[in-house]
Amino acid sequence: MLTGIRGQSKNSVRESPSAVPPNSYSDPEFPRAAAQLYLRVLTYSSFWVNINPMDLDDTLIALADDTRRSILQRLASGEARVTEVAAPFDISLNSVSKHIRLLERAGLVRRRVAGRDHFLSLEREPFDELTQWMQRTSRFWSERLDVLEAALRAEDAIEKARKPKPRKSR
């Protein structure tokens, strides 16, 4: 007979509520953010590549890969067939197709099918959203850092004013 934790049989361990990890999905106290993070990790496995529409975070993740950035750079010059996009890469067409599907889900690439040919083109809207977000974030941090700089300069001025000036000896 196989034994589990503390000499219990495997069946009793499975049936025991203490055998269930404290952060399991069946636990009503399990944090929603952890569940979403777990699902996001699943989304990027090769099996789950075509699941949900993406948001800004996912757009940034799509842009993080050098192969996908190269694909976007190629598409910036105009529409191209999938095989033309895949040609410069030393990876299989299937691998490039997975990268393209992730870019499509991020809304960065649009596919047009004409007979047996699949044409890809760049979508500009997600880049506009990303640019707006970066500008807002830049303004926010610039303002915060300006306030910090002013506070540090004021603190330095106060410190300098407190120090006695050295007397000149005659």
What ranges do the domains of the chain cover?
53-123, 124-157
Specify the CATH class of 53-123 in words.
mainly alpha
End-to-end Cα distance, the chain:
98
Give 52-95 pLDDT, tens digit per residue. 444 777 788 888 889 999 999 999 999 999 999 999 999 999 99
76: left (phi over 0), alpha (psi -120 to 50) or beta: alpha
96: amino acid identity, one letter: V
Structure pTM? 0.55
Give 21-48 pLDDT, tens digit per residue. 444 445 555 455 555 544 444 444 444 4
* Token duo for residue 58: 């996912």
